Amino acid sequence: MSTQTDSRWASAVGTVAPVLVVALLALLGWWLLSATVYAGRAYLLPGPGAVAAAVRENAPALVVASLITLREASLGYLGAIVIGVLLAALMSQSRLIERSLYPYAVLLQTVPVVSVAPLIVLWFGYNESSVVVISFVMALFPIINNTLLGLNSTSRTLVELFALHNRSRVVAFWKLRLPSALPSIFAGLRISAGLSVIGAIVGEFIIGSGNSQGGLGVQIVFAQGRMYTALLFGAVIAATLLGFMFFLLVSVVGRRLLRHWHESAR
């Protein structure tokens, strides 16, 4: 089974990799061409060379900032996993509870986090706690929604079979509904992985005060205030890579775990 899964992954990578390489080369070509056009106004669009030089010059600060953002995003993400799965499990046990709580989860998703971020900062202060809370809010809904969807999609026939054998709801949850929901749960976790990084950076935008101390969002605000566009581009690229690596890590871990729990990954 493991060999078949590995071969499917290798096939998928072999299909996607050439397209990704072509897209990156096209983007780099467009960037070089545009930078040439704006050669006299490098503050608007610096070339790849200028960005690389800025990244080398500020590499220690960018590494520290990336680690800070990763820590904030990880804390918010882990909190969203715990609260999201617990709320979804609770809602899956009762239609009344679901109808009472789910609208608030939807409301949490529909309200733009940028509009409530200043309020969160006002409540929790201009510190890392606010960033973690904003990251948590961004990551929460996909976990609730996908977990609830997976738990409610369990085969009705199997649920009735458990009831026929006098299995309690707790046993049915742990032995049937939760394992059946794992693919949906991990789909939500993959979505929320990137959102938690976005939330952390949005929070850093709000608490950024023009100094160079803090995560990648603070670095972006700092570079923008100094019109240091090359560093701004470097920080944005670092943030993009961080979000992608976080997503990739969750995807790989999820795939490995599902091999032992669900036939869809075998």
- From residue 90, alpha-carbon distances to 40, 98, 231 in Å are 60, 8, 46
131 with 14, same domain?
A: no
* pLDDT for position 79: 97
50 with 124, same domain?
A: yes
Q: Where are the alpha helices (DSSP H) in 93-177?
A: 95-110, 113-124, 128-152, 156-164, 169-172
And the tokens for 38?
Answer: 């704006």
* pLDDT for position 209: 52
* pLDDT for position 37: 60
127 torsion bin: left (phi>0), alpha (psi -120 to 50), beta (else)? beta
104 with 140, same domain?
A: yes
33 with 90, same domain?
A: no
Give the whole-angstrom CA distance, residue 127 versus residue 150: 36
Number of domains in the chain: 2
* pLDDT for position 3: 54
Query: Do residues 203 and 139 touch, judged by C-beta distance below 8 A?
Result: no
151 with 222, same domain?
A: yes
Write down the pTM of the prediction: 0.82
Listed residue (265, 245, 247) closest to 256, CA to CA: 265
95 with 18, same domain?
A: no
Q: Where are the alpha helices (DSSP H) in the chain?
A: 2-37, 48-57, 59-92, 95-110, 113-124, 128-152, 156-164, 169-172, 178-207, 216-225, 229-261
234 with 181, same domain?
A: yes
Domain with 10 in it: 1-37
Q: Return the biggest CA–CA distance within the chain.
A: 78
* pLDDT for position 210: 43
pLDDT digits (tens, 9 = 90+) for 65-124: 999 999 999 999 999 999 999 999 999 888 898 899 999 888 888 888 888 888 888 899
And the tokens for 183?
Answer: 């693919």
- pLDDT < 70 stretches in the chain: 1-17, 19-20, 25, 28, 30-44, 166, 208-213, 260-266
What CATH number is given to the structural domain containing 76? Answer: 1.10.3720.10
196 with 251, same domain?
A: yes
